[in-house]
Chains A and B, each alone.
Chain A
């Protein structure tokens, strides 16, 4: 089996702070991490590798050169290869343009049986790139995969559970296909010590630009993005209300009284 995992390096949004004066994001010093859902996607691929000898897992990411560190982590977890799609031409891409570049990268990897991606990245939360890559490659896709029930290599199909708001669907889809992972799918494994050394010293992380992918720069990055950010701003706070005082009973009576006065209860 040949598996590609799509991964993204993201800022840890739990650590993002707002500059109280300028009202902008403070990104300095915010740690970069492997996007959480993508770690589940990688784990799903590695599980298949555990079961099927000879499986090759390649992680593909689009991002700046510093994303190689995240790819090394993926190799330390057990991935065989990693490719970084990196070029100035890819900058400023929306999901539409990103999916073109990633689809070209996967095509160059070639002959892939399954493509796993995280459902969404925590910096944008769009959940678009997975299905869009599938659409560009002409492959069927299933998003929100919470369980891989059965992989039948002979009949070239998988049966997966797709999470819904109030349950799940059981879906069968033929290979090759694109599956996007939610956190309920599995628990990502830790990096292995031996693999960390290998990842740092020996592993060869390929870097491909638009020429390697034979992409026209007009089809990449900002140029090829239908959506444009008009402005960004920090959400206005609602503003602090009244802090109640007194004993517990007094505060409880006060809040019930106020809600009653407003005919809310």
Chain B
């Protein structure tokens, strides 16, 4: 095993023996001895007052992959509310678990967010692994990595899915290196290989110009971050229950001063109105063709008329006409509304990557050769400053 006791330094105090989550250390003849069931988790290393324990475990490669079972979903919560992507992942995780013939579980970190446990069961989790501690109330890379890493070591899931949010994309890489496994970022499609039940992870690269399907054959868990808004949300069945695992007790989780090195001093919400593009059923987006920031007033008029949300292309955001939170596309938000209006958007591949799975796409553009028309259901070649008011008028006539 990779955990080593330095006998010259060990005083046989037995702190490591008491704290080992796996009961893998025993004191014999006033010296700590590492047993065969050591997982190399390294808890003892930081607990030892004499620095008498070393851990050289850097990799879990050549693991016995048959020991790993279950699909885990990181139940990301902020201020006690589940992020929508967690519910999408439960839906997708359930589908994968059914194909493999295993269970779908949620892993939840927080401080007294017990209400979310029931919510996770109702959204289909067979089990919820719950790390309930004040130190985990807000996300920190160190705190969440430590708790989840140790849960992975003990319970050995075969797949771990995280939302590709600013938090999931921080936690995922850190966890993957700790576990010595691979991570596929920003997946838009997940499948199970029917023959060997491997996870096939598909993601865009080169700014959406190319798709790649990636596997992680020899390492476990297979880890992916998944783009928010891409997978279908899980159905909620009220009253559904499952098994709750209290990680704090099971793993003897505790944090000492200095264990969590990122200190969150403040969380500031953007003063701008929160833009929820992911859940929008109708989006009206404006691009370079608007010509100026004023143009978004017209876009907003149409969006308001339809009960929709205002979106934007990167060009419009980079020009400073509208806040980044409205941006649709590869570097913005991926959306799939029922109706997507692209007004004055030429259709760069990065933009198309973020909206082409919308149910109906309507494009208004002066240039009949604009690439946006390659993905539209209804195309209108014309001046958007004339076409949009005409559409608003037609909508009024319809309502009357």
Contacts and interface: CB of A to CB of B under 8 A. Distances in A.
B262 A173 contact: yes
B284 to A, nearest CB: 12
Given A228-B214, A251-B390, A167 B268 contact: yes
A128 B264 contact: no
Contact of B177 (A99, A159, A162, A228): A99
Contact of B169 (A143, A254, A255): A143
B361 to A, nearest CB: 8
Contact of A260 (B165, B208, B381, B398): B398
Interface string A79-113: 00000000000000011100100000000000000
Interface string B187-221: 00000000000001000111111111111111100
Interface string A234-246: 1101111111100
A228 B183 contact: no
B263 A128 contact: no
A163 B169 CA distance: 12
B103 to A, nearest CB: 24
A137 B50 CA distance: 22
B170 interface: yes
- How many chain B residues sit at the interface, stated as a range, is 35 or more
Contacts of B325: 165-166
B214 A252 contact: no
Contacts of B208: 235
Given A125-B204, A167-B269, A251-B390, A131 B174 contact: yes
Contact of B209 (A18, A165, A225): A18
Nearest to A141: B141
A265 B306 contact: yes
B395 A256 contact: yes
Given A140-B262, A230-B213, A256-B391, A237 B204 contact: no
Interface string A36-50: 000000000000000
Interface string B157-174: 000000001110110111
Given A141-B141, A143-B169, A264-B338, A258 B185 contact: no
Given A173-B262, A230-B215, A232-B213, A128 B204 contact: no
Contacts of A174: 261
A249 B206 contact: no
The main secondary structure of chain B at its interface with chain A is mixed
B376 interface: yes
B144 interface: no
B37 interface: no
Contacts of B257: none
Contacts of B313: none
A235 B189 CA distance: 12
Given A168-B270, A257-B394, 11 more contacts: A18-B209, A125-B330, A127-B185, A129-B173, A131-B173, A167-B269, A173-B263, A230-B200, A241-B361, A253-B390, A253-B394
Interface of B: 58, 61, 138, 141-142, 145, 165-167, 169-170, 172-174, 176-178, 180-186, 200, 204-219, 261-270, 274, 282, 306, 325, 330, 338-339, 348, 350, 353, 356, 359-362, 368, 373-383, 386-387, 390-391, 393-395, 397-398
26 contacts: A16-B209, A18-B209, A94-B182, A125-B185, A127-B173, A132-B176, A135-B178, A140-B141, A164-B166, A164-B167, A165-B165, A170-B268, A171-B264, A226-B216, A229-B213, A230-B214, A232-B210, A240-B374, A242-B379, A243-B379, A249-B390, A252-B391, A255-B380, A257-B394, A265-B282, A265-B395
Q: Which 3 A-B pairs have the closest CB atoms?
A: A226-B182, A252-B390, A227-B182
